[in-house]
């Protein structure tokens, strides 16, 4: 199949794919929010499509839903252009997506939050899913633990310190965007942002007081070392690690 994106397929192609065993659907949950002065506000949603399709190809039996966006980005609202949903709206969107795909016969649903602000609510939704959807396996495939593991591997194998790789618009995310959407990256505006340990304490402060309280340019990490070579490794790492998580959680 040339594409695994449901929105790029006809209903007949989807029906044939499902009959051939494609009974898993991946739903990325991104955002529309600031990503520093050098990346577009749709970064999380764009990478959501790219990572979800990569994971689907790794799995070999999955299709990719339209990415959910905006997301939960209240902590970015000090920066112009950012959008945020009410948690109840975000949950309702996930419920409507899941209801539709169950009605069409998908048996396994993977939610891939590619924005950290969505992690906790996606986890809560997935935890409550067995009671509401007892006949459908619904899992989450991305969280802060996986982000930290990816950064640790990057530091060990590529020499990119975790605080440089960052968790928002740093070297890791910027490099991935250079691979998939280079025309939307302005490296002349790449900067250093918050360079401390992005600990649970710092995350709590960010969600309570906003990103601007942590970093005035909206970057967690350092975007300046970003490059395509590192981006390919980072993207491949993310896709393979998430695919392994999906296999484990669906088994």
Q: What is the DSSP string of 12-47?
A: HHHHHHHHTT--EEEEEE-----BTTTB-TTHHHHH
pLDDT, residue 1, reads 82
pLDDT, residue 175, reads 97
Strand partners of residue 112 = 28
Q: What is the pLDDT along the chain (251 residues), one digit of tens a residue?
A: 899 999 999 999 999 999 999 999 999 999 999 999 999 999 999 999 999 999 999 999 999 999 999 999 999 999 999 999 999 999 999 999 999 999 999 999 999 999 999 999 999 999 999 999 999 999 999 998 998 888 888 899 999 999 999 999 999 999 999 999 999 999 999 999 999 988 889 999 999 999 999 999 999 999 999 999 999 999 999 999 999 999 999 98
pLDDT, residue 74, reads 97
Select from 8, 3, 19, 29 the least CA-distant residue to 105. Answer: 19
Neighbour-count burial for 70-95, b at 16+ CB within 10 Å, e otherwise: bbbbbbbbebeebebbeeeebbebbe
pLDDT, residue 148, reads 87
pLDDT, residue 198, reads 87
Relative orientation angle of helices 144-158 and 171-180, to the nearest 10 degrees: 90
In the DSSP assignment, the letter for residue 67 is P
- 92 close to 99: Cβ distance less than 8 angstroms: no
Q: Which positions ≥6 away from 213 have C-beta within 8 Å?
A: 205, 206
First to last CA, the chain: 25
pLDDT, residue 114, reads 97
Chain centroid to CA 182: 18
Report residue 131 as tokens.
């009671």
Which structural domains are found in the chain, ordered by start?
6-250 (3.40.50.10310)
Select from 39, 66, 33 the least CA-distant residue to 52. Answer: 66
């Amino acid at each position: 199949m040339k594409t695994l994106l449901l929105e790029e397929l006809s209903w007949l192609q989807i029906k044939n794919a499902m009959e051939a065993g494609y009974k898993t659907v991946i739903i990325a949950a991104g955002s529309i929010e600031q990503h520093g002065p050098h990346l577009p506000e749709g970064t999380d949603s764009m990478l959501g499509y790219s990572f979800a399709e990569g994971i689907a190809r790794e799995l070999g039996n999955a299709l990719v839903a339209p990415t959910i966006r905006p997301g939960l980005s209240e902590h970015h609202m000090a920066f112009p252009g950012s959008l945020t949903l009410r948690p109840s709206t975000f949950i309702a969107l996930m419920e409507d997506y899941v209801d539709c795909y169950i009605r069409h016969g998908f048996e396994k649903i993977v939610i891939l939050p590619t924005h950290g602000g969505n992690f906790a609510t996606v986890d809560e939704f997935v935890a409550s899913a067995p009671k509401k959807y007892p006949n459908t396996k619904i899992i989450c495939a991305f969280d802060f633990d996986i982000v930290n593991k990816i950064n640790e591997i990057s530091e060990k194998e590529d020499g990119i310190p975790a605080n440089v790789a960052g968790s928002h618009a740093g070297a890791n995310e910027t490099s991935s965007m250079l691979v998939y959407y280079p025309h939307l990256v302005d490296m002349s505006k790449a900067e250093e942002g918050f360079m401390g340990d992005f600990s649970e304490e710092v995350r709590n402060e960010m969600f309570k007081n906003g990103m601007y309280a942590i970093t005035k340019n909206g970057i967690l990490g350092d975007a300046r070392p970003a490059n395509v070579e590192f981006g390919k490794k980072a993207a491949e790492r993310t896709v393979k690690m998430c695919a392994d998580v999906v296999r484990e959680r669906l088994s």
